[in-house]
Amino acid sequence: MHQYDISEDYSNSSSKMAIAHPQEFRLFWALDKDGDGFVQKAELLTILESNGLTRKDQRLVSLFTKMDAIEGDAVVFEQFLSLTQTVGPLVERLLRGELALPDFKQFSEEVKVEFEKVRENRSGEQATYIPPLAEVNPEQFGLAVISIDGQLLEIGDSETDFSVQSACKPFNYCFALNELGAEKVHQHVGMEPSGQPFNARVLMNDGSGRPHNPMINAGAIMSASLIKANQPLHHRLDHVRQMWSKMTGGSMPRFNAWMAQEESRTGDNNRALDYMMKAAGVLLNGEDSVDHELRDALELYFSACALEINARELATAAATLANGGVCPVTEERVFSEDNVRNCLTLMQICGMYDGSGEFSVKIGLPAKSGVGGAVILVVPQLMGICIWSPRLDVIGNSARGVDMATRLAQKYRIHIYDSNSMLSDRPDPRMQAAKVRSEQTTAALRAASFGDTRTLRRLYSEQISVEAGDYDQRTPLHLAAAEGHIEVVKYLLEQGVDANPKDRWGGTPLEDAELGEHQNVVKLLKEQGAVSGAAQHINSDVGITEEASVHSDSASVAVLLWAASEGDIETLQRCLASGVPISVADYDGRTALHLAASEGHINVLNYLLAHDHPVHVRDRWGTTPFDEAEREGHDEAKNILDQAQIDFHKLEVKPDSSEMNRVIRFLDRVTQACGVKPVIHNKVASVLDDLLALLISQNEAKTNFLINIRINVESNKLQIMTTFNGPEWNPFEEKCSDSENQEDDFDIAGIEIKMIRQLSDLDSRKFS
Ligand code: GLU
């Protein structure tokens, strides 16, 4: 007999890799729906896509290439590992639900709905002052959102080029800041709203003669004049385009020479502004500025306005600002944080022409629009948005752009002055809805079950409900009563909570107090008019109880349990990927398996069982998941759980020594559930090892066989039985005996272990 070191038993390479890469294996395991060691390629692709990680993302090129190279649809762990290693922590964060827009799929669907409503808005007129703008089809409408993690949403004409026009102004300002620093740049341009139209021929009257800010024409011409001032014009334009390509993750903006020419042809007002600035002595070379310097600044400005770009690219540039200056898809820093902060502030107060104030009040985001119909929005630390549609409102902002921005701000908590209260009826797209809900409900329930009145008082003062129920409609009053916390019961009743809320089983707090034999609570509740609700609990006694796990992060536990109760596999996967043990129980001993059984969610039951969720877990009332399925009349769930209880006694192994680890885990589980002393494990394992060794040496064919283990605690017997192609042995019935039995008895630590080799005639000859 010998001892087992589990790690040595991993002879197969997948398992070895799993040990070497536990983090990644956890992700793989979470995705492996039926626990068979494979993840479907199609499913991986769906997860990437539904989270906005697309083939357009250059960070993911090698990931997709590797994925395409995998033959067939099954991905094994080695392949998965190599896939995740190509993209760093992105996949891990994705699978844990930690990307900037955690509920990307839902967000996308909602935004699409709003987009279609805005499509109906045909108000406004497109710009007609030059033919290249007048000729654009005004029906076009595109939107792109890109999160600071590079999650991309595109709707409508998001790939159609349009003239960037004044949407170039914040970026030109950033280019100048990059080159010269804020102090120098602001010697030439102010930081104040002008209170005048964007092209007004006014300069600051503070004695400086500077243009008011970089978002109006005079200021933007000034920014252009500062960019690579000593270089020839074509180098300067090249530089501007290179900078654009850094912000957009690699694509060069196109240059529309006709547009630039037309801008210049009709650009006398801008010329006037340029000369006013010269006269005010505020250009780079002051009053000594010469004509060609002025002309080049204007030409660069016209050319920058005449760049063409699509909504996706412009949204990426906006996301670079949202991301503190780092382009989300290349992860390359383009601007310093300070420069971004300056730019966003000025966009916030001056970005939307004469509508900037109202826009800032209503939408509350740094934004910039242009006569080409673009509106960019920056949601700091979250995402960049570009909405493009050519018709402009009377102020000169894209009518659909403003409409869409307004709807987004009405729907989500993205206004920079929105509170971060969890009580808002508008969701914060930064937060996973499943987590928000759990955080809201769990705190009070847990506090009540721990007798923590202080926390309940705090929650109450924060207007968080101390009455709301969980997935089983268990309320704080139920739990305080169940645990006999009379102070909490008193406090809750004082706050006017319902004294007779009914839980899933019809039970009231009074029954909880009675079950817990908390006489003082019973008395108090009765005084307050509490009644019994005649709760229906059932518990079958199969003589086995498996322990649920504990996990310190109660909000995560609640996320898992809510997900199980709602049939939400995706959230379950995220929980597992984040390291929440699958078999955690709440304050009532309720597990994911109980909830899936109660609600009859077959997909969840199968997922949980495939991930080794214990089947004989018992809640506060001694009820198992099987009992719950039975009580609710979910027949399919009942059958699955019935089979799982039978399978609990049975392990199918291949004749291969690498299987030993599974055998040991299996044995641990069974012996623990049956209260068998842990010291026996190694000895039993040795017996099994002998058995396996024998089988391997004798059985050259790769047939699967069964090892059935039955532990009968009452008779203090443990039986191990192997079956070759024999009839299946049902551990709840007597063993079948259609073939010869050879029995060996082992007396181990006070328990009799009976090893029954149940063999066919042929095999028994081999063993003799
Ligand atoms: N090129 C235009 C101008 O300077 C820009 C118009 C705009 O988008 O505000 O007048």
Quote the pLDDT of residue 762.
34
Give the pLDDT confidence of 130-188 residue by residue, as tens digits.
Answer: 999 999 999 999 999 999 999 999 999 999 999 999 999 999 999 999 999 999 999 99
Locate all alpha helices (DSSP H) within 254-290, ordered by sequence. 257-265, 268-279
Nearest CA to ligand 1 atom 2: 165
Give the pLDDT confidence of 436-462 residue by residue, as tens digits.
Answer: 988 888 999 999 999 999 999 999 998
Give the pLDDT confidence of 569-628 residue by residue, as tens digits.
Answer: 999 999 999 999 999 999 999 999 999 999 999 999 999 999 989 999 999 999 999 999
How far apart are the two ends of the chain, measured CA to CA in Å?
Answer: 20
Instruction: Reply yes or no on whether the pLDDT at 397 is more than 60.
Output: yes
Cα 685 to Cα 693: distance, rounded to the nearest angstrom: 12
Of all atoms in ligand 1, which is nearest to the CA of residue 269? 10
Residue 677 CA to its chain's centroid (Å): 42
Joined tokens for residue 123: 């108000």
Locate all alpha helices (DSSP H) within 253-387, ordered by sequence. 257-265, 268-279, 291-305, 311-322, 337-350, 356-362
Measured between alpha carbons, how far is residue 550 from residues 204, 455, 586, 670, 676 in Å?
66, 21, 8, 19, 21
Distance from the CA of 216 to the center of ligand 1, in angstroms? 9
Give the pLDDT confidence of 707-755 residue by residue, as tens digits.
Answer: 666 655 555 555 666 655 554 433 333 333 334 445 555 544 444 555 5
Q: What is the pTM of this model?
A: 0.88
Determine the residue of 163, 169, 198, 300 to mutate for testing ligand 1's pocket, defined as the one with the most ligand atoms within 8 A of the Cβ atom: 198
Of all atoms in ligand 1, which is nearest to the CA of residue 198? 9
**Number of other residues whose CB lies within 10 A of the CB of residue 213:** 26
Distance from the CA of 120 to the center of ligand 1, in angstroms? 27
Q: Where are the beta strands (DSSP E) in 530-576?
A: none
Distance from the CA of 220 to the center of ligand 1, in angstroms? 10
Distance from the CA of 285 to the center of ligand 1, in angstroms? 25
At residue 343, what is the residue type? C
Quote the pLDDT of residue 73.
92
Q: Ligand 1 pocket by C-beta < 6 Å: which residues?
A: 165-166, 198-199, 217, 263, 270, 305, 370-371
Quote the pLDDT of residue 568.
96
Contacts of 472 (CB under 8 A, 6+ apart): 503, 504, 565, 588, 590, 595, 598
Instruction: Reply yes or no on whether the pLDDT at 342 is more than 50.
Output: yes
Residue with tokens 């930690």: 98
Q: Which helix (H) or strand (E) holds 650?
A: strand 650-653
Quote the pLDDT of residue 676.
64
Of all atoms in ligand 1, which is nearest to the CA of residue 353? 9
Quote the pLDDT of residue 739.
41
Quote the pLDDT of residue 563.
97
Bridge pairing between strands 152-156 and 142-147: antiparallel
Mean pLDDT, rounded, of the chain: 88
Instruction: Reply yes or no on whether the pLDDT at 686 is more than 80.
Output: no
Of all atoms in ligand 1, which is nearest to the CA of residue 370? 8
Quote the pLDDT of residue 88.
84
Over pLDDT 70: what percentage of the chain? Answer: 84
Quote the pLDDT of residue 421.
74
Determine the residue of 163, 172, 217, 307 to mutate for testing ligand 1's pocket, defined as the one with the most ligand atoms within 8 A of the Cβ atom: 217
DSSP 729: P
Over pLDDT 90: what percentage of the chain? Answer: 75
Q: How confident is the model at residue 672 (pLDDT cuts 50, 70, 90)?
A: confident
Residue 457 CA to its chain's centroid (Å): 32
Quote the pLDDT of residue 199.
92
Determine the residue of 305, 375, 376, 395 to mutate for testing ligand 1's pocket, defined as the one with the most ligand atoms within 8 A of the Cβ atom: 305
Nearest Cα residue to 621 out of 723, 726, 696, 545: 545
| 327 touches 247 (CB < 8 A) | yes
Distance from the CA of 286 to the center of ligand 1, in angstroms? 25
Mean predicted confidence (pLDDT) in 388-408: 98
Quote the pLDDT of residue 545.
87
Nearest CA to ligand 1 atom 9: 166
Cα 332 to Cα 682: distance, rounded to the nearest angstrom: 54
| 86 touches 25 (CB < 8 A) | no
Quote the pLDDT of residue 717.
56
Give the pLDDT confidence of 408-432 residue by residue, as tens digits.
Answer: 999 999 999 998 776 788 999 999 9
Cα 349 to Cα 357: distance, rounded to the nearest angstrom: 7
| 711 touches 745 (CB < 8 A) | no
Joined tokens for residue 146: 């890109």
